[in-house]
Amino acid sequence: MADLVGKKVVVGANDFVQQELAATIIMADVENKTVLLGLDKPLINGNTMYQHVVISARLAKDDLDTLANNGVLGCSVTWVPESQFSRTDPFDLSWWRGGAAAITDVSIT
């Protein structure tokens, strides 16, 4: 899925963020059906800043080819606070216990 890296995407409005957000695909993990996005502009919610988002295919039938071929993927989306982001394990969500997550579509622009 190296061809996805660098693509511009839009994260659809959802329960956590009421507007679309522009981002860039930083890396993809095909085996786990996850993608790391870098937001074009940091999102600040309360005292928390988010610059990275981890998305994963929502439906079992979908994978990253769905995004590559159709240009849109229904996703589980988790915003990663900068205080939790690990450059050595950027897909790590083991710290997550609620909040800053939603179900929405991600579309290649």
- Average pLDDT over all residues of the chain: 93
Q: How many residues does the chain have?
A: 109
Residue 1, pLDDT > 80, answer no
Domain segments of the chain: what residues?
A: 8-108
Section 24-50 average pLDDT = 94
Q: Taking Cα atoms as reference points, which of 46, 64, 47 lies closest to residue 55?
A: 64
Instruction: State the pTM of this model.
Output: 0.93
Q: Give pLDDT tens digits for 13-36.
A: 999 999 999 999 999 998 888 999
Q: Indicate the SS3 state at residue 16.
A: coil
Whether residue 61 is predicted with pLDDT greater than 90 in this model: the reply is: no
Q: What are the distances in angstroms from CA 38 to CA 15, 61, 109?
A: 20, 26, 15
What is the share, in percent, of the chain residues with pLDDT greater than 70?
Answer: 98
